[in-house]
Structure 1
């Protein structure tokens, strides 16, 4: 009875918020833009797992493993690594479509505007765009670029600042010329923005965004409080479409790797391990549970309680990659980004697991990470066993943490699934 009341309170509080946000044209375009990129993201994720299969490098020779990865690399390089481009194009397309404009030109102008703002030098070589800027790292800038460019394009079209072609000109040609002035004006504005930032100390808009986000983080050190802050920030950034791990890891990785090496030296010497928080603490007991946010628990829950066709399909698609800690299909397919119904468990679960893991190790119930670098695609249970120096307690802790995450997510996923299921029934009834 109490559980029923709790679910009702959550529904009464969250569903009205979700309805308002779902009716927002920008969030709708954002969601649909990710859906455009989803098949490519899934394809790339699958080949990331295949190319980085755990311990394959120890089974075959170094040259054979390098050739194997080189052969499969283009699959993810042409999809997952530049996923930002597809999302940006999808957002521009969908937002322009909402305004009943020429959607294909909205997508094209969004993509071109983003490329204008993107750095085009790499190690002093001009005319080269860093691949990282086209992927998740550039997504935050890309989302807002797509919104603004689509709005500017719409504004100029509505002002009727277009070239009118005479009757008899093929429709495709006429549409192309009618979009020339709106696209030209929109891209000129973005070129001016690039020029302005070029004369600032930041150099580019992307550098500006990452500088104002990263610099406040440099004051943070190690230990449980700083780790909780780091984990929470990773989740917050991801919720808003910004690759949290790229940002946070760039600040914390030097600290975490140094602590990891201290533990490895102590483990090899047979002395007491000095640190709990290490790189492997993060990789095996947080990220190594299905990816950022430990979404393997979400996939299991979908199979256990899911009724909606959408969630069941996402679960089936995300499960193979999720086992190897690749969770883009869940992040972009559920979706988690900008989805108010999952914000609470998305933020809460990793923090709770961080605290549980820390105290399990500080009290001696579970050995501290031994400093062994376990491949990030190693499935849970096995990764916990290896990370703690082949200790069974590490595997048990991962199972326990997985159950905790499932319990935290259960009521929220139930509401999300019910929401999708009811919508699917309504759509089916209209057919």
Structure 2
């Protein structure tokens, strides 16, 4: 068994390292993290304005008073992501990041229609639709931001700049240095927009949404794609690779888009369109003790197993595990390269996620509303916040019992092994 694991590790490590060090995936992750504090603020506002014990008139009043807190953050998440991509990609090329971010965002706006079509078919010009700055514009925003930043950086690197004398203040010199690359970059996207609107009689937002975003979101919202993603998260972690970072770098744009769709529906009082979303993945997977849902495992180790080694590791890991930090148990048990517990480590999250999806699909527990809950919020409380229902917290407790039931026989095997086998 060890020879098989070593062979897999030898093949897997180089691939995972390449994926983990990929410039564009790392920048995409950093751009979403740039938006994280803002979306968290928006989520808090949504929770406050929709507390379950408020009547409809109170919720309407609070939404009128505080609703801009959500509109100015979560509803325009694509704004922050496009700026973040331009900023971090420019920095990775040793180019002034602030101008790269501004050019990327402006390039996105050049492709965004400045009109809204009303229900009666009439159009109002000179306005931006929130959904194009949020969920519907997410994939176009990411594509344009990467392309714009690449053009801007490559133009800058070629030396196509206006260089000012040393006596000119630095801020002024940097602005003039960015002038030619910015004009060239923005001109490209202005011409693209002119071609799409003039020839195709549409806009690139709708084209990208129909051709790329809608199919990808449909795929990412399926339970099968989600279970495959969870399998790879667990499998990579088993070899000591941060599966959450590697897999989420690919899946986060889809899960965040699903989250924004749910939030818009929740605000409007409509049926939530998705079960799978970013809050679902964080609350009902990571929110149960970290990657692998290990809080129940830590409790069993701390209070049920007999070997002092495991009891000590369990008790040391319990405090961190309550806040969903589980590196102490991953490397302290250890879970990494421990063939004895490979089966529950991989299968428990898959089984629990399928169970959670099923009970939400049949309506026993409400789906997450789209509110972003910090992944460090303890179990039960995070479930309530994510679903705006106590049933979400109860489901997390049931999940922990399932995880404990699946893990217990394997932990007993570990507990009975002689010390020489550890």
Query: Normalization by structure 2: what TM-score?
Result: 0.60
Give how far 1:41 is off: 2.0
Q: Partners of 1:374 and 1:153 in 2: how far apart? A: 39
2:72 is aligned, of 70, 78, 92, to 78
Give how far 1:100 is off: 1.0
Match of 1:413 in 2: none
Shift of the 217–188 alpha-carbon distance from structure 1 to 2, 3 Å rule, reads: closer
Equivalence map 1:222-301=2 (5 Å): 228=223, 239=251, 241-242=253-254, 243-245=256-258, 291-293=279-281, 295-301=283-289
Residue 260 of structure 2 contacts residue 370 of structure 2 at CA under 8 Å; is this kept in 1?
Answer: no
Residue 110 of structure 1 contacts residue 146 of structure 1 at CA under 8 Å; is this kept in 2?
Answer: yes
Equivalence map 1:2-151=2 (5 Å): 15-57=13-55, 62=57, 64-123=58-117, 124-151=123-150
Q: Partners of 2:38 and 2:28 in 1: how far apart? A: 16
Q: Partners of 1:35 and 1:85 in 2: how far apart? A: 13
Specify every segment of 5 or more residues in structure 1 that has no aligned partner in the other structure, as ranges: 221-225, 258-278, 320-344, 363-367, 410-431
Note the alpha carbon deviations across 1:184-206, whole angstroms, 9 max, x for none: 00000011111122135571222
User: For 1:122, what is the secondary structure of its paired residue?
Assistant: strand
Equivalence map 1:321-336=2 (5 Å): none
Match of 2:243 in 1: none
User: For 1:125, what is the secondary structure of its paired residue?
Assistant: strand
Residue 119 of structure 1 contacts residue 129 of structure 1 at CA under 8 Å; is this kept in 2?
Answer: yes
Note the alpha carbon deviations across 1:186-230, whole angstroms, 9 max, x for none: 00001111112213557122211221247769999xxxxx96469
Equivalence map 1:176-255=2 (5 Å): 176-199=175-198, 201=200, 203-213=202-212, 228=223, 239=251, 241-242=253-254, 243-245=256-258
Shift of the 406–29 alpha-carbon distance from structure 1 to 2, 3 Å rule, reads: farther
Q: Partners of 1:373 and 1:138 in 2: how far apart? A: 24
Q: Partners of 1:94 and 1:218 in 2: how far apart? A: 25
Note the alpha carbon deviations across 1:206-263, whole angstroms, 9 max, x for none: 211221247769999xxxxx9646977999998151345379989xx9xxx9xxxxxx
Equivalence map 1:397-416=2 (5 Å): 399-401=397-399
Q: Partners of 1:147 and 1:361 in 2: how far apart? A: 36
Note the alpha carbon deviations across 1:14-52, whole angstroms, 9 max, x for none: 554342223222222222222222221222222222222
Residue 76 of structure 2 contacts residue 134 of structure 2 at CA under 8 Å; is this kept in 1?
Answer: yes
After TM superposition, the structure 1 stretch with the greater mean CA deviation from structure 2, 41-50 or 112-121, is: 41-50
Q: Partners of 2:173 and 2:124 in 1: how far apart? A: 39
Question: What's the RMSD between the two structures over aligned residues?
Answer: 5.3
Shift of the 357–21 alpha-carbon distance from structure 1 to 2, 3 Å rule, reads: closer
Q: Partners of 1:408 and 1:159 in 2: how far apart? A: 59
Match of 2:244 in 1: none
Residue 30 of structure 1 contacts residue 91 of structure 1 at CA under 8 Å; is this kept in 2?
Answer: yes
Residue 294 of structure 1 contacts residue 350 of structure 1 at CA under 8 Å; is this kept in 2?
Answer: no
Match of 1:419 in 2: none
Give how far 1:399 is off: 4.2
Specify every segment of 5 or more residues in structure 2 that has no aligned partner in the other structure, as ranges: 118-122, 231-246, 299-312, 326-343, 372-379, 408-422
* Larger relative contact order (Cα-Cα within 8 Å, sequence gap ≥ 6): 1
After TM superposition, the structure 1 stretch with the greater mean CA deviation from structure 2, 124-133 or 11-20, is: 11-20
After TM superposition, the structure 1 stretch with the greater mean CA deviation from structure 2, 350-359 or 44-53, is: 350-359
Query: Normalization by structure 1: what TM-score?
Result: 0.59
Shift of the 358–86 alpha-carbon distance from structure 1 to 2, 3 Å rule, reads: closer
Give how far 1:70 is off: 1.9
Shift of the 79–371 alpha-carbon distance from structure 1 to 2, 3 Å rule, reads: closer
Residue 75 of structure 2 contacts residue 134 of structure 2 at CA under 8 Å; is this kept in 1?
Answer: yes
Matched residue pairs, number? 329
Shift of the 143–5 alpha-carbon distance from structure 1 to 2, 3 Å rule, reads: farther
Note the alpha carbon deviations across 1:130-178, whole angstroms, 9 max, x for none: 1111123322221221211111111211222222324422222121112
Shift of the 155–355 alpha-carbon distance from structure 1 to 2, 3 Å rule, reads: closer
Q: Partners of 1:314 and 1:6 in 2: how far apart? A: 31
Shift of the 44–297 alpha-carbon distance from structure 1 to 2, 3 Å rule, reads: same
User: For 1:101, what is the secondary structure of its paired residue?
Assistant: coil
Give how far 1:54 is off: 1.9
